[in-house]
Amino acid sequence: MFGSPDWFKPKTIGWGLTPVRWQGWAYTLAWISVIAAPFVLLLMRDQTMESFAWLAVTMGALFYDVRDILRQKKVGAAGSETMLTATAIGPDKDVLYIGDNEPGVSQHATRNYALHLKKA
């Protein structure tokens, strides 16, 4: 959503992220100010319900964004490991690959599947 996976590393204990670049620290400070400033201002105006509604909505958005960054880091790490394994080891000799050596077949990878498309 807003943050980049390059700015953070996963926490060693618990769930969440730890900033590793200045952009990650700026992102963290921006979220703190976006959450805290309106919350405190609404409380000072005796708008308790609105302040807690603001807190709930912004914390939900922060949770969604952190979860998305963690997912991107996980997908990126899995993709690089898969590519590294495939190039270092090569194809498995015990597995029958159907249509692997046919001319005109191109390979495409999606997030969930590896596709082999045959051009007619």
Calpha distance 21→6 (Å, rounded): 8
For 14-110, list the strands marked E by DSSP.
Answer: 17-19, 105-109
Q: Does the reported pTM lie above 0.85? A: no
- What's the pLDDT score for residue 76? 72
Has residue 28 got a pLDDT over 80? Answer: yes
Task: Indicate the average pLDDT of the chain.
Answer: 79
Average pLDDT rounded to a whole number, residues 33-43 = 95
Has residue 43 got a pLDDT over 90? Answer: yes
pLDDT band, residue 115 (cuts 50/70/90): low
- 77 or 57, greater pLDDT: 57
